[in-house]
Chains A and B, each alone.
Chain A
């Protein structure tokens, strides 16, 4: 009967199943409950194994009751699970960090301007705006500097600051955030800075922001059709007349085309960026794509003793070390590259140079796609 059942399936699948079948024959309720693959099948998240489980029901009718029990228990538990949305999670994380950072700070100690790394409650933001866009927006607005990329409909009194000097200009925002505005930069914000639980800044030109953390009142930057939402982090925004680039240095940032902000259903266009990832927003097409920054930074130091020195290590180890240090996902076929091992000494080379060295040694190739590195290889002998 088993042979008959398997005859319809491709040989590779068949071998795998034969092994598994034997194994599942002795499964009890506890085993099913603990089987990850079974659980994802039950939750409907894994189509790939659906055939397998249905086949098991067919082959071992005595398992049917147990499987049904396990299924219902899992479903029930999931129905009763407490959903924590990303936003709620973020709020709670910020709340905890806010408390612990307040406790860490010595009373009265002011934070050095350059010392932002030690103060997670600040955000660095640079917005560079191409001259061409300036010219365009002035034309559209009909008055110099009147129109930044986006202005609120509200008639709330706005404050605008223009840096006409040749040096960086420092500005304190009402919420305690600080801005370092580059020459020719412009920034505007409502006098009533916290409005409808939002802090909003409109800008053109170039500026660094050190933003005070306040999860209850998120910080938004509007630039040339792109909205950047600050979730407590440091990042860089560069705009030109055709593009807006957002590069994340630490923490998280989400970006959204301005046109979608009023339509919650379009929120699927919202992109979450993690360190060393970069979003490029095309002003013309209103499309955001995700990639990796040109020069990814080490987010954490590699292990002190081992560093990036690998003596005949499997590639999986090398890749996971890279992933850890740069926070960039590396995708590869573990089965194909199973035999690949590597003797390589790396130190301060930039990320992509490291990747070049590794892939050339292995005779493999890589490309960047959707903020990830994808390795292609034909395996090693």
Chain B
């Protein structure tokens, strides 16, 4: 946290190395997160580019933060939502699954193990039953390791709402998982 604050301050003072470090350190996580919203890689690159460019322009006026990543994710989220509104061509979390499946057609051909392909398909079905918001919160919680507090800030909802949404998402995931694959797991574990 302290490191973040120090890095952020150096960036605000116009230290180009600190800025470059920050881009290098955060780009992949932002891209990863953003790609759950939109699939157009160029558009996503543009959004991240604009985000950093605008940060640099406004650096003197920015408030201090000791948590750079949640701050950037939130800023990117706002940008992406605007971009999605503006461009109807872009997809949202809603269609993540469908698009992923289209990619999988070529992917699955490469998979030699049939059970592996089946496993993917099944999991895809389970995830599809989650709402876009539930998938987003799972991503932020378990794949970005954000705290409930940070998620609350990113999604602009209250902390209890985060806890609620998260437990709902996991409960739903478990329930679906159990009804769809009762016998399969024994095969995998032994």
Partners in one complex: yes
**A99–B50 CA distance with the chains assembled, in angstroms:** 9
B142 touches A34 (CB 8 A): yes
A33 touches B142 (CB 8 A): yes
Q: Cβ of A92: which chain B residues have Cβ within 8 Å of it?
A: 23, 27, 45, 48-49
List A54-104 residues whose CB lies under 8 Å from chain B. 57, 64-65, 68-69, 72-77, 79-82, 84, 89, 92-93, 95-97, 99-101, 103-104
A76 touches B27 (CB 8 A): no
- Please, could you name 14 A-B residue pairs with CB atoms under 8 Å apart, sorted by A? A29-B170, A29-B174, A30-B166, A33-B141, A33-B142, A34-B142, A69-B173, A72-B177, A73-B142, A80-B36, A82-B41, A89-B24, A92-B49, A100-B57
A72 touches B32 (CB 8 A): no
18 extra interchain contacts, Cβ-Cβ under 8 A, other than A80-B100, A120-B16? A29-B170, A57-B189, A64-B185, A68-B185, A75-B123, A76-B120, A80-B36, A82-B41, A84-B28, A84-B32, A92-B48, A93-B20, A96-B48, A99-B49, A100-B52, A100-B53, A103-B53, A104-B14
List B53-82 residues whose CB lies under 8 Å from chain A. 53, 56-57
List B15-60 residues whose CB lies under 8 Å from chain A. 16-17, 19-20, 23-24, 27-28, 31-32, 35-36, 41, 45, 48-49, 52-53, 56-57
Q: Cβ of B41: which chain A residues have Cβ within 8 Å of it?
A: 82
The answer to whether the Cβ of A48 comes within 8 Å of any Cβ in the partner chain is no
Highest count of chain A CB atoms <10 Å: which of B19, B23, B48 = B23
Bitwise, A260-301 to B at CB < 8 A (1) or not (0) is 000000000000000000000000000000000000000110
Q: Cβ of B19: which chain A residues have Cβ within 8 Å of it?
A: 97, 100
List A19-47 residues whose CB lies under 8 Å from chain B. 29-30, 33-34
Given A77-B143, A93-B20, the answer on whether A68 and B189 have CB atoms closer than 8 Å is: yes
Q: Separation in Å of the A195 CB from the closest CB of chain B?
A: 25
Q: Separation in Å of the B7 CB from the closest CB of chain A?
A: 11
Given A57-B189, A76-B120, the answer on whether A89 and B170 have CB atoms closer than 8 Å is: no
Main secondary structure of the interface of B (DSSP, over half): helix
Q: Cβ of B166: which chain A residues have Cβ within 8 Å of it?
A: 30
Taking beta carbons and an 8 Å cutoff, which residues of A are in contact with B? 29-30, 33-34, 57, 64-65, 68-69, 72-77, 79-82, 84, 89, 92-93, 95-97, 99-101, 103-104, 120, 250, 299-300
Highest count of chain A CB atoms <10 Å: which of B14, B56, B96, B178 = B56
**A97–B188 CA distance with the chains assembled, in angstroms:** 48
B185 touches A65 (CB 8 A): yes
Q: Separation in Å of the B158 CB from the closest CB of chain A?
A: 19
B178 touches A65 (CB 8 A): yes
The answer to whether the Cβ of B124 comes within 8 Å of any Cβ in the partner chain is yes
Q: Cβ of A101: which chain B residues have Cβ within 8 Å of it?
A: 16
**A81–B166 CA distance with the chains assembled, in angstroms:** 21
B97 to A, closest residue via Cβ: A80
**A77–B174 CA distance with the chains assembled, in angstroms:** 16
A99 touches B53 (CB 8 A): yes
Bitwise, B159-181 to A at CB < 8 A (1) or not (0) is 00000001000100110011000
**A82–B28 CA distance with the chains assembled, in angstroms:** 9
Q: Which of A57, A76, A96, A104 contacts B49 (CB 8 A)?
A: A96
**A98–B164 CA distance with the chains assembled, in angstroms:** 44
**A250–B16 CA distance with the chains assembled, in angstroms:** 12
Q: Cβ of B124: which chain A residues have Cβ within 8 Å of it?
A: 76
**A75–B188 CA distance with the chains assembled, in angstroms:** 14
Q: Separation in Å of the A232 CB from the closest CB of chain B?
A: 9
Q: Cβ of B100: which chain A residues have Cβ within 8 Å of it?
A: 80
Q: Separation in Å of the A248 CB from the closest CB of chain B?
A: 14
Q: Cβ of B173: which chain A residues have Cβ within 8 Å of it?
A: 69, 73
